Amino acid sequence: MDKRVQRPVPVKSSRLGFALVLPMLLFVGGLASGAWWLSEAQVLRQTVSEGRTVADMVENIGRWASQYGGVHVRTVGSSAKIPGNFLTRSVYATSGADNQVLQGSKVDAAVAERDALERVEAYHWKNPALIQREVADVISASGSKARYRLTARTVLNKNNAPDAFESEALDAVQAAANARPDAPGAQEYWRVSGNRLLYARSVVAQPSCLRCHDQPDSAPEFIRTNAQFNGGGGYGYVAGKPAGLISVSVPLVTNANLVQNLPHEVWAAAGLALIGALWMLVLAFRRR
């Protein structure tokens, strides 16, 4: 009887290599992809938080100014530089003698009148919204990468009219408010545009806002007579109701920026992990 011994057929090394490399590649690729997406989500969450922080600052500036009904900026002397935009201006003589000279009830030399004019004090009233806007101008001039401004569907100043994103945000926060009218807090909306995050939060009108934004007839004369504030709207505010938006723009840090700015320790750790993965592959091939 012919007995033949069947020898096992050797498995090709290429198949073994593929069977070892593919799971390792899947593991490393999945880990790297998960880390990348996680970092993107964390960066986006952090940037949204920065947008909220800027909006908080703007609201707090408004609250601070509102508790005083606005702020008066003092200048001394009739030739003093006008402190930007203001809504009302009141001028006072600093003494009874100066008042008599300036009122004409006291006859005096022209020199005394000039001296009295250099001592007069003027108080320029700025309402909370104007203060918030001027702070925004200071931040922009400082070179800060964060920006903010206030806007609404209708505005007193045409320069504050909403842009495309702000119009989109006004519709979104209004829809959210209509869907949940009893929801506490302001409504917010944001989206990414290029390398920046655009964030918007609804603004609730305070009682101090009504001094300028209630009805045209009750607005300060400066607003009613100044063409700059003839924007075709900006009235009809109701205290406690949404009136407009705080619009914020902050830079969005991308993963490419993060990779470029990673500390050396992170690169060293990544290198050690890669060396460990290659070492495991070599050991696996040797055991085969």
The reported pLDDT for the residue numbered 103 is: 73
Element (H, E) at 248: strand 242-251
CA 239-242-243 angle, to 5 degrees, is 85
Share of the chain above pLDDT 90, in %: 25
Q: What's the pLDDT tens digit per position in 5-34?
A: 555 555 455 555 556 566 666 666 676 677
Greater confidence (242 vs 53) lies with 53
Model confidence at 174, pLDDT cuts 50, 70, 90, reads confident
Q: What is the pLDDT of residue 4?
A: 57
Whether residue 203 contacts residue 246, with contact meaning beta carbons closer than 8 Å, is answered with yes
Phi, psi of 4, deg, nearest 5? -115, 135
What is the DSSP track for 3-52?
Answer: --PPPPPPPPHHHHHHHHHHHHHHHHHHHHHHHHHHHHHHHHHHHHHHHH
- Read off the tokens for 167: 């119009």
Quote the tokens at residue 249: 């723009």
